[in-house]
Amino acid sequence: MAVGLGPLPTLHPVPGFELGIASAGIKRVGRKDVVVMRCAEGSRVAGVTTTNAFCAAPVLITRERLAGEVRYLLTNTGNANAGTGDDGLANAKRSTEALAQLTQVDAEQILPFSTGVIGEPLPVAKIEAALPAALADLAEDHWAQAAEGIMTTDTLPKGASRQFEHDGVIVTVTGISKGAGMIRPNMATMLGYIATDAKVSRDVLQALVRDAANKSFNRITIDGDTSTNDCCMLIATGQAKLPEITAASGELFGKLKDAVFSVFMEVAQAIVRDGEGATKFVTVIANGGGNAQECLDVAYAVAHSPLIKTALFASDPNWGRILAAVGYAGVPELDVSKIDVFLGEVCIASQGGRAASYTEAQGAEVMAREEITIRIELGRGEFSETIWTTDLSHEYVKINAEYRT
Amino acid sequence: MAVGLGPLPTLHPVPGFELGIASAGIKRVGRKDVVVMRCAEGSRVAGVTTTNAFCAAPVLITRERLAGEVRYLLTNTGNANAGTGDDGLANAKRSTEALAQLTQVDAEQILPFSTGVIGEPLPVAKIEAALPAALADLAEDHWAQAAEGIMTTDTLPKGASRQFEHDGVIVTVTGISKGAGMIRPNMATMLGYIATDAKVSRDVLQALVRDAANKSFNRITIDGDTSTNDCCMLIATGQAKLPEITAASGELFGKLKDAVFSVFMEVAQAIVRDGEGATKFVTVIANGGGNAQECLDVAYAVAHSPLIKTALFASDPNWGRILAAVGYAGVPELDVSKIDVFLGEVCIASQGGRAASYTEAQGAEVMAREEITIRIELGRGEFSETIWTTDLSHEYVKINAEYRT
């Protein structure tokens, strides 16, 4: 039921970054569920991780190890290794130790990632057994296979790729993501891996991943549930024959930033397009706020309202529900007489009430589309925020009522 | 599909308070959709109303008029008269003026209430035409009919009644409520009317309605959507032959408070039991918080999580989703190693991980029940809060996708 999400685009290999996929049979025999990524020596890795206090064991380990030199990323699906206490930590470490032995690196140089059911013990022996096959599979052109290897309830793999040229050198930025439910990333996403062959200073890389995630993964929501396992990693292998990019790099930094932001946005929006049960891809824009937070409060109130989400599913221009959500978003001293609301290009509410020009037919025409923009003009200031979400369908309930059975 | 909600209990008449019902054909011909309530001279009325900034026209008028002497309450269903701007205000006033003419009171002594679809013009002529029939129907024993007359998507009428004796005098507290969707009252409820024949000072009455609503209507949530029309009114007719109840009234005040709180709780919980598509009645308790707000944040995060709500619908003890919600509730410096989670009497998570004693069969047994308690022990302090909610079923999506069609 993915909305506007087709087959994977061409995912250009990133020199110095290889991906290998294997099947450990964690949840289902034969399913690709282990992905190993290898970063060439000298690569830098920066990342953001979930703000959920109950973060998973692998997230705790990844956070610590990000400060050092990273050589491998080890991902499993089918089991989140979250809510698993000390055993979970030991299991996550053990899986990286097994990979360290096979690859002759230090376990501290390996970042673990898990996604799947929360609260089950990680079947670490199965993962260990699959590592040789994953290593044998390592190749720079295995992005598409890895995009499939990290899927859980996703119906389609998600990836994006950009290239730009600088001083005659082609620089590549390629990324993949997964996620379809328990999606309201907060300083992170379910899982996202974006790599470039640019050489990037540690500070710039960390700022890039933070800023790009903030405008992409941190602006999507499917069900308002912030996961315990969100992680988004940005890898720079430095294999492109160009000077190191620092905060002072001017044009080259600008080109890289554009490419990174563009890939982040595409793979983040792909998660929404593949949202559980999604039949609509919905952009919510809050303009004219007095600060960024109140714009976000309004946009998320609209995006999380089950009443608005079911109306979107039904293609019902029930704009009163939008007004109600704006009204309870908690914006202090909100003057409703200054608020306009647009559905697509149609003004549905003006000065806090039904727009004089509005007809139900206009609203119905917009609501019938697969991609819908709801824009709220708050009339309080100059701030603006945009987020992306889905509708709430029968299928969402079905998927999540039956997830473990 | 109401959960544990049977036929109306006996609703004792409250001397000095009459109810009359009529059919104005606002949304459907023949449906009872207008209710007039008459308070005897000398009655006092206190109330709380929605905090939604887009509050409906009748709410604005009711708020103003509560300061004066109130003689009538006029309620219509089928149309919320919200998001209707100046015309909405004029229409609400006009309906009370029509009633004022027929009853020889001042329009300022009449409180208007509306509930139903947001954003449609109020069909005030239809309401006017129904007023004589509603007035002719006024009687002290028409509580049950009024409980039906204020229903919208409710499947069952909701009411509760208590009596107590003081110095040989019987005092009655009776109330009704309506609401099944767009339910997360905030300082109010959809619509609740509770009357007593006790004589109560204005200050005490206002404090009573605020405190009772705060522990009942303000602790329920179905979909997290705070309505534009929430109103809860407490009427004291003063017909019971007892001294006026003031803050200094000791035992009598205590008895009244118990009865009022008990009626509030029953009619508030009845709204949850009749929640749209509800198949479960869920109590969420957050104990051991450092303050009340963090208890509420945790409880509402659990109660609003679509993933938990669908797991409840499926009777799936997917406790990892509960941990995840606690983790993203925004409690500062949450130490997950101190957290225990109970499903009914079963400890499912201990010290932040799966409880050693827990078996899936234990969780499944609790989840199969119609009434389920989720208790989170935060281990941070002495505060505690309890709220009530429902699951998220196919029926919820169906009802709200098809509401206007």
Instruction: Tell me the residues of chain B between 107 and 146 that have a Cβ less than 8 Å away from chain A.
Output: 117-119
Q: Where are the beta strands (DSSP E) in A54-141?
A: 72-77, 110-115
Closest CA in chain B for residue A399: B310
- Which DSSP symbol is given to A30? T
Closest CA in chain B for residue A312: B401
pLDDT value of residue B222 = 78
Could you tell me what percentage of chain A is helix, strand and coil, using 3-state DSSP and rounding each to the nearest 5? 35, 25, 40
- Which residues of A carry out catalysis? 189
Q: Which residues in chain A are contacts of B83 at CB distance < 8 A?
A: 319-320, 323-324, 349, 352-354
Query: Nearest by CB to B306, which of A118, A224, A351?
Result: A224
Instruction: Give the ipTM.
Output: 0.76
C-alpha B207/C-alpha B85 separation (Å) is: 31
In this complex, do B328 and A392 lie within 8 Å of one another by their Cβ atoms?
no
C-alpha B41/C-alpha B39 separation (Å) is: 6
Q: What is the pLDDT averaged over residues A151-167?
A: 89
Sheet holding A231-236, edge to edge: A44-49, A231-236, A191-196, A169-178, A158-166
Query: Nearest by CB to A307, which of B181, B186, B324?
Result: B181
pLDDT value of residue A185 = 63
Rama region for A77: left / alpha / beta (φ>0; ψ in -120 to 50; rest):
beta
Average pLDDT over chain B, rounded to an integer: 90
Instruction: Tell me the residues of chain B between 142 and 181 that have a Cβ less than 8 Å away from chain A.
Output: 181
C-alpha A270/C-alpha A183 separation (Å) is: 12
In this complex, do A54 and B326 lie within 8 Å of one another by their Cβ atoms?
yes
pLDDT value of residue A186 = 54
More confident residue, B178 or A108: A108
Q: Residues of A at the annotated binding site for substrate?
A: 152, 178, 189, 276, 400, 405
Closest CA in chain B for residue A298: B53
**B169, B316, B323: which is closest to B239 by C-alpha?**
B169
Q: Which of B77, B172, B189, B221 is catalytic?
A: B189
In this complex, do B52 and A327 lie within 8 Å of one another by their Cβ atoms?
yes
pLDDT value of residue B220 = 79
- Which DSSP symbol is given to A40? P
Instruction: Tell me the residues of chain A between 241 and 300 that have a Cβ less than 8 Å away from chain B.
Output: none
pLDDT value of residue A404 = 61
CB of B80 within 8 Å of a chain A CB? The answer is yes
pLDDT value of residue B1 = 60
Query: Nearest by CB to A225, which of B82, B305, B401?
Result: B305
pLDDT value of residue A284 = 96
More confident residue, B18 or A118: B18
pLDDT value of residue A292 = 93
Q: Which residues in chain A are contacts of B54 at CB distance < 8 A?
A: 323-324, 326-327, 336, 352
- Report the gap between the CA of B100 and the closest CA in chain A (Å): 27
Among B50, B52, B54, pick the best mutation site for testing chain A contact (most A Cβ within 10 A). Answer: B54
For A117, counting Cβ atoms within 10 Å of its Cβ (0-12 exposed, 13-18 middle, 19+ buried), the class is buried
- Answer whether residue B387 shows pLDDT above 50: yes
Average pLDDT over chain A, rounded to an integer: 90
What share of chain A has pLDDT > 90, as a percent?
60
Q: Which residues in chain B are contacts of A307 at CB distance < 8 A?
A: 181-182, 223, 225, 400
Q: Which residues in chain A are contacts of B352 at CB distance < 8 A?
A: 54, 83, 85
Query: Mind spelling out the 3-state secondary structure of chain B?
Result: CCCCCCCCCCCCCCCCEEEEEECCCCCCCCCCCEEEEEECCCCEEEEEECCCCCCCHHHHHHHHHCCCCCCEEEEEEEECCCCCHHHHHHHHHHHHHHHHHHHCCCHHHEEEEEEEECCCCCCHHHHHHHHHHHHHCCECCCHHHHHHHCCCCCCCCEEEEEEEEECCEEEEEEEEEECCCCCCCCCCCCEEEEEECCCECHHHHHHHHHHHHHHCHHHECCCCCCCCCCEEEEEECCCCCCCCECCCCCHHHHHHHHHHHHHHHHHHHHHHHCCCCCCCEEEEEEEEECCHHHHHHHHHHHHHCHHHHHHHHCCCCCHHHHHHHHHCCCCCCCCHHHCEEEECCEEEEECCEECCCCCHHHHHHHHCCCEEEEEEECCCCCEEEEEEEECCCHHHHHHHHCCCC
Query: Nearest by CB to A328, which of B52, B316, B328?
Result: B52
Query: Nearest by CB to B323, which of A83, A224, A403?
Result: A83
Among A183, A390, A400, pick the best mutation site for testing chain B contact (most B Cβ within 10 A). Answer: A400
Q: Which residues in chain B are contacts of A323 at CB distance < 8 A?
A: 54, 82-83, 118-119, 228
Is B140 annotated in a binding site? The answer is no
CB of B378 within 8 Å of a chain A CB? The answer is no
Closest CA in chain A for residue B187: A328
Q: What is the pLDDT averaged over residues B262-289?
A: 90
In this complex, do B403 and A318 lie within 8 Å of one another by their Cβ atoms?
yes
More confident residue, A204 or B221: A204
**A111, A103, A18: which is closest to A68 by C-alpha?**
A111
Q: And the tokens for B161?
A: 């009644």
Q: What is the pLDDT averaged over residues B138-147?
A: 96
CB of B49 within 8 Å of a chain A CB? The answer is no
What share of chain B has pLDDT > 90, as a percent?
60
pLDDT value of residue A187 = 44
Q: How many residues does chain A have?
A: 405
List, for residues A83-104, the tens digit of each pLDDT value. Answer: 888 999 999 999 999 999 999 9
Between A and B, how many residue pairs show a Cβ–Cβ distance under 8 A?
214
Query: Nearest by CB to B349, which of A83, A86, A404?
Result: A83
Among B321, B359, B393, pick the best mutation site for testing chain A contact (most A Cβ within 10 A). Answer: B321
CB of B356 within 8 Å of a chain A CB? The answer is no
Q: And the tokens for A134?
A: 């994953």
User: Which residue shows structure tokens 């002495």?
Assistant: B382
Q: What is the pLDDT averaged over residues A196-215?
A: 88
The angle formed by the CA atoms of residues B24, B29 and B34, to the nearest 5 degrees, is 25
Active site residue B174: no
- Answer whether residue A405 shows pLDDT above 60: no
Instruction: Tell me the residues of chain B between 319 and 338 that have a Cβ less than 8 Å away from chain A.
Output: 319-321, 323-328, 331, 334, 336
List, for residues A16-71, the tens digit of each pLDDT value. Answer: 999 999 999 998 888 999 999 999 999 999 988 887 888 889 999 999 999 999 99
Question: Letter for the amino acid at B154?
Answer: D
- Answer whether residue A277 shows pLDDT above 80: yes
CB of B79 within 8 Å of a chain A CB? The answer is no
C-alpha B114/C-alpha A237 separation (Å) is: 63
In this complex, do A306 and B403 lie within 8 Å of one another by their Cβ atoms?
no
- Report the gap between the CA of B224 and the closest CA in chain A (Å): 7
User: Which residue shows structure tokens 């940005």?
Assistant: A234
Three-state DSSP class for residue A404: coil
The angle formed by the CA atoms of residues A211, B331 and A47, to the nearest 5 degrees, is 25
pLDDT value of residue B270 = 87
Q: Which of A321-335, B183-197, B284-298 has the highest mean pLDDT?
A: B284-298
Q: What is the pLDDT averaged over residues B75-94?
A: 93
The angle formed by the CA atoms of residues A339, B80 and B310, to the nearest 5 degrees, is 85
Least confident stretch, A228-242, A287-301, B29-43 = A228-242
For A388, counting Cβ atoms within 10 Å of its Cβ (0-12 exposed, 13-18 middle, 19+ buried), the class is buried
- Which DSSP symbol is given to A60? H
List, for residues B215-242, the tens digit of each pLDDT value. Answer: 888 877 777 777 777 888 899 999 999 9
CB of A303 within 8 Å of a chain B CB? The answer is no
pLDDT value of residue B303 = 93
Taking each continuous run of H as one helix and of E as one strand, the counts in chain A are 11, 15
**A52, A118, A115: which is closest to B316 by C-alpha?**
A118
Three-state DSSP class for residue A319: helix
- Answer whether residue B358 shows pLDDT above 70: yes
CB of B85 within 8 Å of a chain A CB? The answer is yes
Query: Nearest by CB to A320, which of B87, B118, B224?
Result: B118
In this complex, do B119 and A186 lie within 8 Å of one another by their Cβ atoms?
no
List, for residues B338-351, the tens digit of each pLDDT value. Answer: 999 999 999 999 98
pLDDT value of residue A267 = 86
pLDDT value of residue B188 = 44
pLDDT value of residue A84 = 87
In this complex, do A225 and B392 lie within 8 Å of one another by their Cβ atoms?
no
Is B287 annotated in a binding site? The answer is no
Domains in chain B: ranges and CATH: 17-273 (3.60.70.12), 281-401 (3.10.20.340)
Is B359 annotated in a binding site? The answer is no
Query: Nearest by CB to B400, which of A307, A331, A334?
Result: A307
